Chains A and B, each alone.
Chain A
Amino acid sequence: MAQLHDSGLTGHQVSHTEHHDHPDMEEMRTFGFWIYLMTDVIIFGTLFAVYIVLQGNTNGGPGPKDLFQMGGIIASTFILLTSSYTSGLAVLAMHKGNKKALLGWLGATVVLGATFIIMEINEFTHLVHEGATIGTSAFLSAFFTLVGTHGLHVLLGLVWMIALMMQIAKRGITPVTKRKVNVISLFWHFLDVVWIFVFTIVYLMGVS
């Protein structure tokens, strides 16, 4: 660990070390979060593998072509993509020290993310009303587990982002809140990337 810490400083020289340990601890925490993201990659990888293997097993029930309504899915894809961009703009505003813009862009990200979740809930209730529940077939079990896990991540991210906005409003832009914004924007970009693969493998390949 010490090695990682030290080598992390090369290039920035001593002016850094005079400072208290703060910035480097925050850097370590961001890296810790990155490792968590990599474990999440494995979770989603497993769920994707299950979905790909089981997608043909519809048990005589409805398949992807019968169920998916692409209009809403395409709209929610662009919404999530845009929210990934706004969370990036939040990070930029933060580095400029603009607290108002930071809160504004985080707020925009929350609104877009909430829209995405509401559309997903609508889609799921529509499916259930059509008689396509998680117990209908192996295909639908795998579908709801994969898409639902992604949705839960987004929902958790929303709660987290709102809490972080409250903290920033209270404490301002400090090294700690800075790291937290960096970490949540990483999380948000990650969820966007996962959705791209859900969209491609589950929806586009499902209806093509």
Chain B
Amino acid sequence: MQHDMSTSHAHENHGSLKSYTIGFVFSILLTIIPIAVVMNGWLAGKASAIILMITAVLQLVLQLIFFMHLREEKKPRYNLLTLILGLIILLVIVIGSMWIMMYNMVAL
């Protein structure tokens, strides 16, 4: 980030054509894999669900790093902190709802 000192507003973390293209190619790959798994019926049930979630989460991480430049944020990392807070709330809502509504059923 040294070269940034010379320009007037140095804060932008905007990546390069290379990083965007890498991100794009990998997200295409990570989209093709689950499509292939489902459309060809390679895996069933839990195994397929796990592969699908892994590729989706990988793609989330990929976009955060290559498109939203989360790693280039300077300290203190408020963007990362608020993201973690948001994700914790998200996981509590989703996993909590699933747990209560699907696995703790008392009556139908």
Q: Does the CB pair B20–A92 fall under 8 Å?
A: yes
With contacts A52-B98, A74-B35 taken as known, whether A38 is within 8 angstroms of B83 at the C-beta atoms is: yes
Contact of A208 among B11, B48, B53, B63 (CB under 8 A): B48
Task: Say whether chain B's binding surface is mostly helix, strand, loop, or mixed.
Answer: helix
**Which residues of the partner chain A approach B27 to less than 8 Å between Cβ atoms?**
81, 84
Q: Does the CB pair A88–B28 fall under 8 Å?
A: no
Q: Does the CB pair A89–B20 fall under 8 Å?
A: yes
Restricting to A155-208, which residues have a CB under 8 Å from any CB of B?
175, 178, 182, 185-186, 189-190, 192-193, 196-197, 199-201, 204-205, 207-208
Restricting to B26-40, which residues have a CB under 8 Å from any CB of A?
27-28, 31, 34-35, 37-39
Interface membership of B71, Cβ < 8 A: no
| Complex alpha-carbon distance, A53 and B91, angstroms | 14
Number of A-B contacts (CB under 8 A): 140
- Name which of A5-13, A110-118, A128-136 contacts chain B: A5-13
With contacts A41-B90, A196-B59, A204-B34 taken as known, whether A12 is within 8 angstroms of B11 at the C-beta atoms is: yes
Interface membership of A125, Cβ < 8 A: no
Most interface-central of A34, A49, A78, A190 (chain B CB within 10 A): A49
With contacts A34-B79, A42-B86, A95-B14 taken as known, whether A11 is within 8 angstroms of B74 at the C-beta atoms is: yes
Q: How many residues of B contact A (CB 8 A)?
A: 58
Q: Does the CB pair B78–A4 fall under 8 Å?
A: yes
Q: Does the CB pair A81–B28 fall under 8 Å?
A: yes
**Which residues of the partner chain B approach A67 to less than 8 Å between Cβ atoms?**
none
Q: Does the CB pair B20–A35 fall under 8 Å?
A: no
| Complex alpha-carbon distance, A77 and B55, angstroms | 14
Task: Say whether chain A's binding surface is mostly helix, strand, loop, or mixed.
Answer: helix
**Which residues of the partner chain A approach B89 to less than 8 Å between Cβ atoms?**
41-42, 45
Q: Does the CB pair B76–A15 fall under 8 Å?
A: no
| Complex alpha-carbon distance, A185 and B14, angstroms | 11
**Which residues of the partner chain B approach A26 to less than 8 Å between Cβ atoms?**
9
Restricting to A31-71, which residues have a CB under 8 Å from any CB of B?
31, 34-35, 37-39, 41-42, 45-46, 48-50, 52-53, 70
Interface membership of A102, Cβ < 8 A: no
Residues of B within 8 A of A (CB): 1, 4-5, 8-12, 14-17, 20-21, 23-24, 27-28, 31, 34-35, 37-39, 41, 44, 48-49, 52-53, 55-56, 59-60, 63-64, 67-68, 74-76, 78-79, 82-83, 85-87, 89-91, 93-94, 96-98, 101-102
Residues of A within 8 A of B (CB): 4, 7-8, 10-13, 15-16, 19, 22-24, 26-27, 31, 34-35, 37-39, 41-42, 45-46, 48-50, 52-53, 70, 74, 77-78, 81-82, 84-85, 88-89, 91-92, 95, 175, 178, 182, 185-186, 189-190, 192-193, 196-197, 199-201, 204-205, 207-208
